[in-house]
Amino acid sequence: MFCIKAYGHIFRLHYNHYKNSRIMKYFKLKKYLPRSFFGRTLLIIILPIIVLEAIVGFAFIQRYFEQVTNQLAKSTVLQMNYVLDRYENTNSDAKEFFLKEMEKKFDIKLTIVPEKSNIDFFQKHPYDFSGITLIKILKNDVPSIEHIDLKSNGVVTIFTSLPNKSYFKFEIERERFTASNPHQLLVLMVLLTIILGFLLLMVLRNQIKPIKTLASVAEAFGKGQSVSYKPTGSIEIRKAGSAFLEMRKRLERQIEQRTQMLSGVSHDLRTPLTRLKLALALKEDDIETKEMLKDILVMQNILDEFLEFSKNQKTEKVKEISLIDLYEFLKNNNKNLKETLIWQLSSKNHERKVHLRPNNLLRALSNLIENAVFYGSQIKISVIEKKTRLLIHIEDDGPGIPPEKVKDAVKPFVRLDNSRNLNKPHGVGLGLSIASDLIKIHGGNLNLKKSQDLGGLKASLTLPL
C-alpha cells in the first residue's frame, strides 16, 4: 500500500512538471523569463506583490471613489434640479435675475444657449474611472439632460433641454462631484511597492552572493585554479560549499597520487634502461645489438610520454597577454616549421587581453602541430577572436580520422589504426590526451573533425575570453 502511494505521488509530480512545461511552451513564456537565479527569485517575490496590490487597490479605489462620487454628485444634482424647477416657474422678465441669484447661491455658472456644442451624449478621458459613476448618476437623476463634458480642465459642463428648444448650460467645478485628490492612494501604494522592492533587492543580493562565489570557485577549479573558499550563506548553501571542498580535496589527492605513481614508475624504469643501454654500447656493433638499441629507444620514448602526462599542469600561473602578443608568441616558437605552416589572425581588437597559461597552451598546440606535420604536407593555423571566446584551428591535408573514432582519439593510452596514428611514432596514445587536458584546464575544449579546406583533420581549440 505504501509503495502504491509513493508511486502515485511520483506520477503526480511528473505529470505536474509535464503539464507546466507544456503550458510554458504553449504561451512561449520561457524566453521572456530572467535567466539568472537572482532575476527569477526577484520575479517570484515581486510579481505576486504587484498583482495583489493592483487587484486590491483597484477594487478598493473603485468602491471608494464610487461611494464618494455618488454622495457628492447626489448633493449637486439636487441643486441642479432645484434650479431647473424654479427656472421653469419663473416669469420671463425675472429669469435673468433668477440665474444671477442662483449662481451666487450655489456657486454654479448658469447660461442659456440656443444649441449644444457637441452631438455626443458624453465626453470623458479613458482613465477617468470616477466619470463612469458620475455620468450614470447625472443620466438617471437629471431630467432632460442632453450632453455631459468631463474633458474640460477642472470643470464639468452639462447641457439640459428646455421647452423652448434652447439649452440650459451648467458649468460646475469637478471637485464638487469627485474627490479632489484621487491620486494620493495610488502614489502611496506605488511608493510602498518601490521601498519594499528595494529592501527585497538588498536581501536577495546578500542571499545570492554565496551562490555566485561558490560558482566562481567551482569554475576556477575546472580551469585548474585552486582558489581559497569558505562556505557562507544559508545552511543549504553551506552544505553545498562544504561538499564541494571535500570533493576538491579528494580530486586533488587522486591527481597527486596518480602523478606520483606515474612519475615514480617512469623514474624507476629509467635506471635499468640506462644500464641496458650502456651494456649494449659495450657489445659488438652487430644487427642484434642495433635492434635491441631501437627497442630501448622506443621504451625511453614511452617513458618520456608518461612523464609528460604525469606532470602537474597547474603549476604555471595564469598570465595576462594581448591577442597580438599571444599570436606572435605561438608563431615565434614554431619558426623551425615556417615553410610548412600558414598562419592567419582574425581579430577586431589586437590589444584585447586574455588570461591563460602561455607555455601550457604552446605545449598543447605543439602536440597538434607535430601530428599535423607528421601526417600532412600543408598545415594552416587560424587564430580567430569571437565575442566571448578565442578559436584556434589547426588544419592539415593528411588522411584524417574516421568520424566514429574521433571520441577515442582524445582518450589516454588509445592508439588508432595505421591509417592515422595521431601520436608520435612508437607512442602510447598520450599526444592528444595531453593536448586535451592542457586545453581543459583553461576552461576550453578540443574538437576534431574533417577540414573542409584541406580535406584532412581539423583540430579546433575553443578558449573562453
Distance in angstroms (rounded) separating the CA atoms of residues 387 and 349: 11
Q: In this structure, are 360 and 277 located in the same domain?
A: no
| CATH code, 296 | 1.10.287.130
CA 223 to chain CA centroid, nearest Å: 22
Nearest CA among 382, 377, 366, 371 for reference residue 339:
377
Does the residue 93 lie in any domain?
A: yes
On whether residue 209 sits in a domain, the answer given is no
Domain co-membership, 305 together with 323 = no
Give residue-wise pLDDT tens across range 103-138.
888 888 888 888 776 667 888 887 777 788 888 888
Same domain, 454 and 324: yes
Residue 288: domain span:
253-310
Which of 265, 281, 310 is the last residue before a domain boundary?
A: 310
Give the containing element (helix H, strand E) for 113: strand 109-113
Positive or negative, the CA dihedral 90, 95, 99, 100 is negative
Query: Residue 181's pLDDT is what?
Result: 58
CB distance 441 to 319 below 8 Å: no
- Is 40 inside a domain boundary? no
133: domain CATH number?
A: 3.30.450.300
Strand order across the beta sheet in which 145-149 lies: 109-113, 167-173, 155-161, 145-149, 122-123
> Do residue 344 and residue 458 come from a single domain?
yes
Res 26: pLDDT: 47
**Phi-psi map region of 273: left, alpha, beta (phi>0 left; psi -120 to 50 alpha):** alpha
Evaluate whether residue 328 is within a structural domain.
yes
Indicate the number of domains in the chain.
Answer: 3
Residue 270 has a pLDDT of 77
How far apart are the C-alpha atoms of 66 and 315, rounded to whole Å?
76
In degrees to the nearest 10, what's the CA dihedral of 186, 188, 194, 198? -160
Residue 26 within any structural domain of the chain: no
The three-state secondary structure class of 125 is coil
| Geometric angle at alpha carbon 203, from 197 and 205, rounded to 5° | 100
Cell of 156: 464639468
d(C-alpha 187, C-alpha 459), whole Å = 62
Spatial CA neighbour of 127 closest among 71, 87, 186, 167: 186
Cβ-based burial of 456 (10 A; exposed 0-12, middle 13-18, buried ≥19): buried
Residue with cell 614554431: 334
Using CB atoms within 10 Å of the CB of residue 239, give its burial: 0 to 12 exposed, 13 to 18 middle, 19+ buried.
Answer: exposed
Residues 298 and 424 in one domain: no
Let me know whether 306 and 398 are in one domain. Answer: no
Which pLDDT score is estimated for 243? 92
Amino acid at 367: N
Domain termination site, one of 127, 152, 176: 176
Based on the fold, state whether residues 364 and 450 are members of the same structural domain: yes
| Per-residue pLDDT in tens (0 to 9) along the chain, 465 residues | 434 444 444 445 444 554 455 554 545 666 777 777 777 787 888 888 888 877 777 777 667 677 778 888 888 889 888 888 888 888 888 888 888 888 888 888 888 888 776 667 888 887 777 788 888 888 888 888 888 888 877 888 888 888 888 888 899 888 888 766 556 667 777 888 888 888 888 888 888 888 889 988 888 887 777 788 899 888 888 999 999 999 989 988 887 787 777 777 777 777 788 888 888 777 777 777 778 887 787 777 777 766 766 664 455 677 888 888 888 888 888 777 766 788 888 888 888 888 888 888 888 888 888 888 888 888 888 888 888 888 889 888 888 888 888 777 777 666 665 444 444 444 556 677 778 878 887 778 888 888 888 888 888 888 887
Residue with cell 584551428: 393
Q: Are residues 299 and 403 in the same domain?
A: no
Q: Is residue 185 part of a domain?
A: no
pLDDT (0 to 100) of residue 452: 85
Q: How many residues does the chain have?
A: 465
One domain for residues 269 and 334: no
Nearest-angstrom CA–CA distance, 392 and 434 = 17
Specify if 115 maps to a domain: yes
Q: 411 and 278 in one domain?
A: no
> Which residues are registered as beta bridge partners of 157?
149, 171
User: How many helices and strands in the chain, by DSSP H and E?
Assistant: 11, 12
DSSP, residue by residue, 222-274 = HTT--------SSHHHHHHHHHHHHHHHHHHHHHHHHHHHHHHHHHHHHHHHH
| Domain presence at residue 276 | yes
293/366 same-domain check: no
Q: How far apart are CA 297 and CA 404, in angstroms?
A: 33
Tell which of 134, 155, 176 closes a domain. 176
Q: Are residues 268 and 403 in the same domain?
A: no
Which amino acid does the sequence have at 380? K
What does the pLDDT read at residue 310?
61
Query: The CATH number of the domain where 361 resides is what?
Result: 3.30.565.10
pLDDT of residue 242: 92
Q: How many CA atoms lie within 13 A of 390 on its CB side?
A: 25
